[in-house]
Amino acid sequence: MRLFLDTANIEEIRHAARLGILSGVTTNPSLMAKESGISYRERVVEICEVVNGPVSAECISRELADLLKEAREVATWHSNVVVKIPIDEVGLEATAVLSREGIAINMTLIFSANQALLAATAGASYVSPFVGRIDDAGQDGMEVVRESVAIFDSYHLPAQVLAASLRHPRHVIAAARAGAPIATLPYTVLKAMVKHPLTDVGIERFVADARSYQAEPARERANS
Ligand code: E4P
């Protein structure tokens, strides 16, 4: 399973890259709105230079002609860019056109396996079910991931399920067990995945014990 970071914060991305776990990044307009002093394009290019993998940059146009224009422009920013498009009829039509032109699309705001099937059939390379937001609506977000993975596998659809809107470490494990080839994580979830209280206690004890045996020869000398 490949892990992406779901953020537009360059320091978080640099840190995840240093940890050796980062295969890609997803951004969206809400994540970008948290950043200041830099244009969307500049930030996306900056991210692409840190990450050796797909970087999703979202389009906001709502009319087909505008969306095609915006998507083609965004796709020129960097070879790592994947154009993110929300699913609706305009989004599907744009995906059909753009995928034929060889532009990689991440179809976003997926809330059902039906939407996932349509996105994959229209030619999206990545399909992003929003697990946490589905859970928030009282349904089982991971079930959409499971169903989408099973459908893509059964019919050899080349699209990859990108489990998104993950809120905690158990979501990541559940997405992995559901067979999602990619999970995109908020930085806080990545940090939580690293931590375990028993690891902290274990490190503390090993360090204390190492110090005590390193101090031993000095004590022995003192006693002789
Ligand atoms: C994925 O591509 C989206 O940016 C993201 O996972 C949305 O997550 P949220 O529901 O926490 O906003």
CATH code assigned at 164: 3.20.20.70
Q: Whose CA is nearest to atom 12 of ligand 1?
A: 165
% of residues, the chain, pLDDT over 90: 94
* pLDDT score, position 223: 62
* pLDDT score, position 222: 60
Find the mean pLDDT for residues 113-131.
Answer: 98
Which region among 10-24, 170-184, 208-222 has the lowest average model confidence (pLDDT)?
208-222
14 pLDDT exceeds 80?
yes
How confident is the model over 27-63, as pLDDT tens digits?
999 999 999 899 999 999 999 999 999 999 999 999 9
* pLDDT score, position 4: 98
Residue 27 placed within a domain: yes
Q: Which atom of ligand 1 is nearest to the CA of 108?
A: 2
Residue positions annotated with a catalytic role = 84
* pLDDT score, position 68: 98
Question: Of the residues 27, 111, 165, which should be mutated to test ligand 1's pocket, given the most ligand atoms within 8 Å of the CB?
Answer: 165
Residue 46 placed within a domain: yes
Q: Which atom of ligand 1 is nearest to the CA of 28?
A: 4
Residue 221 placed within a domain: no
Indicate yes or no: pTM above 0.75. Answer: yes
Residues with CB under 6 A from ligand 1: 6, 26, 28, 108, 128, 130, 132-133, 164-165, 184
Centroid of ligand 1 to alpha carbon of 165 (angstroms): 4
The chain-wide mean pLDDT, for the chain, equals 96
User: What Cα–Cα distance (Å) separates residue 198 from each residue in 69, 191, 202, 203?
Assistant: 53, 16, 6, 8
Residue 214 placed within a domain: no
Q: Rounded to an integer, what distance in angstroms lies between the CA atom of residue 163 and that of residue 127?
A: 8
* pLDDT score, position 210: 94
User: What Cα–Cα distance (Å) separates residue 156 from each residue in 93, 103, 160?
Assistant: 22, 20, 11
Q: Tell me which residue range forms the domain holding 175.
A: 2-195
Q: Please state the domain count of the chain.
A: 1
Q: Whose CA is nearest to atom 10 of ligand 1?
A: 165
Residue 207 placed within a domain: no
